[in-house]
Amino acid sequence: MNKLQHSVGELIRLSAQYLSEKGCDSPRLDAEVLLAHVLGVSRVELYLNLDKPLNNQEVDDYRILIGRRGQRIPVAYLTGRKEFYSLPLTVQPGVLIPRPETELLVEKVIELTADFLGQKDPVSILDLGTGSGAIALALACESSSIRVTAVDISPTALQTAEHNAEQLGVGDQIRFVQSDLFENVDGTYAVICSNPPYIPSQELLNLQPELSAEPAVALDGGEDGLIFYGRIMDQAASFLKQPGFVVLEIGWDQGDAVREIGETRGFQWLETIPDYAGLDRVVVFQWN
Ligand code: GLN
pTM, 2 dp = 0.94
What residues does ligand 1 touch, defined as CB less than 6 Å away? Answer: 99, 195-199, 219
CA of 102 to the centre of ligand 1 (A): 9
The set of residues, in sequence order, having a beta carbon less than 8 Å from that of 91 and lying 6+ positions away, is 76, 77, 80, 81, 82, 97, 98, 132, 160
- pLDDT confidence of residue 49: 84
**Is 51 within 8 Å of 7 (Cβ atoms)?**
yes
- pLDDT confidence of residue 227: 98
Give the type of residue at 166.
E
CATH superfamily, domain at 8-71:
Ubiquitin-associated (UBA) domain (1.10.8.10)
> Is the pLDDT assigned to residue 254 strictly greater than 80?
yes
Nearest to 190 by CA among 242, 128, 227: 242
CATH architecture group of domain 93-287: 3-Layer(aba) Sandwich (3.40)
Interatomic CA distance for residues 156 and 141, integer angstroms: 22
> Is the pLDDT assigned to residue 271 strictly greater than 80?
yes
Question: Average pLDDT over the chain, rounded to whole?
Answer: 95
- pLDDT confidence of residue 2: 47
- pLDDT confidence of residue 5: 54
CA of 8 to the centre of ligand 1 (A): 34
- pLDDT confidence of residue 118: 75
Give domain limits for the chain. 8-71, 93-287
CA of 52 to the centre of ligand 1 (A): 39
Residues 180-219 pLDDT 10s:
999 999 999 999 999 999 999 999 988 899 999 999 999 9
For ligand 1, atom 10, the nearest C-alpha belongs to 211
If pLDDT is split at 50, 70 and 90, which confidence band does 171 have?
Answer: very high
If pLDDT is split at 50, 70 and 90, which confidence band does 116 have?
Answer: confident
Nearest to 90 by CA among 101, 79, 100: 79
153 phi/psi in degrees, rounded to 5: -80, -20
- pLDDT confidence of residue 3: 46
CA of 192 to the centre of ligand 1 (A): 19
CA of 199 to the centre of ligand 1 (A): 7
| Number of alpha carbons in the 13 Å side-chain half-sphere of residue 165 | 26
CA of 14 to the centre of ligand 1 (A): 31
Question: In ligand 1, which atom is closest to the CA atom of 211?
Answer: 10
**Best residue for ligand 1 mutational test, from 25, 96, 193, 252 (most atoms within 8 Å of Cβ):** 96
3-state secondary structure of 48: helix
Residues 22-73 pLDDT 10s:
999 999 999 999 999 999 999 999 989 888 888 999 999 999 999 999 999 9
Q: Is 17 left (phi over 0), alpha (psi -120 to 50) or beta?
A: alpha
Question: In ligand 1, which atom is closest to the CA atom of 195?
Answer: 9
